[in-house]
Amino acid sequence: MTEILGIPVTVIPGQLMLGLVNGSFYALLSLGLAVIFGLMGVVNFAHGAFYTLGAFAALLGLQWFGINYWAALLLAPLGVGLLGIVVERLLLRRLYRLDPLYGLLMTFGLALIVEGSLHQVFGSSGQSYPVPEALAGAIDLGFMILPLYRAWVIVASIVVCFGTWFVIERTRLGATLRAATENAPLLQAFGVNVPRLVAATYGGGVALAALAGVLAAPVVLVNSHMGTSLVIVVFAVVVIGGMGSILGSIVSGLALGLVEGFTKVIYPEASNIVVFIIMALVLILRPAGLFGKE
């Protein structure tokens, strides 16, 4: 069998595909973080908790009200996004004048509260969310069997990611948002309601996390810990991409999924630290991140 770096060639396309699936989750989550940091300067440690909440919203929606997957895909991010707006209005808003560290600590505390409460009510072992029927099958790609659902995750995430990038970088609304970060008082003088815009931004970023949670629900067990380990990796992705860079977070999310996928074959034991090794290297060589502006 032909080998590259000790990996049989036949395994490579399969691992590429899986790396892309995981990269899609990273991209979607880091995108929300990058939007929130880039436009608000808030380091949102509660991002993992909102992801978990998205998954729980889908699960409980199904169990209690019979809301199906497709509706949950819309409703869960909407609900969690509204919750995000409430958090911004009631809590985060009071911290803007202070050091960014306070926002970080507040969101960190919020994450502990959310995860602790979910643990208290639902325990730690988690619950299964069924794969929606329309996506239940698998496609035989020749080199691997790709579950339809995973393929859907890639497509959905890429569409949402580039849609978000387009809105922020290429539309008038996005231009207004970016103007708010550059010079809020001036924009306010033009008659734009900046505080409302900021609240909506936070809600939007959080909704992206919840959407990732709904997408993840049929793949993993829905439990209170699901966001905890992920959010740290996602932070590393954002740092690598360049804090606040929208495109950077999308591209580095997908790329790091791929790198991690290959590590799982070459040296599996290191697969959960490879992202951090890259982060350290990037911070040494290009402190602003791959796509960041100095």
Partner 1 sequence: MRLRTLTIAMAAALATAAGSRAALAAADQIVIGDIDDMSGVYADVIGAGGVESMNMAIADFGGTVLGKRIVTLTADHQNKPDIGASKFREWADEHGLNVLFGGSNTGVNIGMAKVAAAKKVPLFVIGAGGASLTNEDCTAYTVHYVYDTTALANGTATAIVNGGGKTWFYLTADYAFGTQLQNAASKVVEAHGGKNLGAVRVPLGAADFSSFLLQAQASGAQVLGLANAGTDFSNSLKAANEFGITRTMKPAALLAFLTDIHSLGLNTAQGLYLTTGWYWDLNPDTRAYAKRYFGKMNRQPTMDQAGIYSATTTYLKAVKAVGSTDSDKVMAELKRMKINDMFASGGYIRADGVMIHDMYVMQVKSPQESKYPWDYYKVLKKMSGEEAFGPITGLCPLASK
Instruction: Give contact residues for partner 1 (rule: CB under 8 A).
Output: 8, 10-11, 14-15, 18-19, 21-22, 25, 99, 101, 104-105, 108-109, 112, 116, 119, 123-128, 131, 138, 144-145, 147, 149-150, 219-221, 223, 225, 229-230, 233, 261, 264-265, 268-269, 271-272
To partner 1, the closest distance from the beta carbon of 218 in angstroms equals 9
Smallest separation (angstroms) from partner 1 to the CB of 169: 29
Q: How far is the CB of 108 from partner 1 (least distance, A)?
A: 7
Cβ atoms of 144 and 17 within 8 Å: the answer is yes
* Nearest approach, Cβ of residue 287 and partner 1 (Å): 15
Nearer of residues 81 and 261 to partner 1, judged by Cβ: 261
Q: Of 21 and 255, which CB lies nearer to partner 1 in the complex structure?
A: 21
Which of 25/165 has CB closer to partner 1? 25
Minimum separation from the CB atom of position 267 to partner 1 (A): 9
**In Å, how far from its chain's centre is CA 70?**
19
DSSP class per residue in the chain: --EETTEEGGGHHHHHHHHHHHHHHHHHHHHHHHHHHHHH----TTHHHHHHHHHHHHHHHHHHH---HHHHHHHHHHHHHHHHHHHHHHTGGGGTTS-HHHHHHHHHHHHHHHHHHHHHHH-SS-B--PPPGGG-SEEE-SS-EEEHHHHHHHHHHHHHHHHHHHHHHHSHHHHHHHHHHH-HHHHHHTT--HHHHHHHHHHHHHHHHHHHHHHHTTTS-B-TTHHHHHHHHHHHHHHHH-TT-HHHHHHHHHHHHHHHHHHHHH-GGGTTTHHHHHHHHHHHH-TT-SS---
Of 16 and 78, which has the nearer Cβ to partner 1?
16
Query: Cα–Cα distance between 135 and 86 in angstroms, integer?
Result: 34
Q: Which of 28, 187 has the CB closer to partner 1? A: 28
Smallest gap from Cβ 251 to partner 1, in A, equals 20
- Nearest partner of 227 among 74, 65, 57, judged by Cα: 57
CB of 124 to partner 1, least distance (A): 4
The sign one gets for the Cα dihedral 229, 232, 236, 239 is: positive
117/183 with CB nearer partner 1: 117
Q: In angstroms, give the least distance from the CB of 269 to partner 1.
A: 5
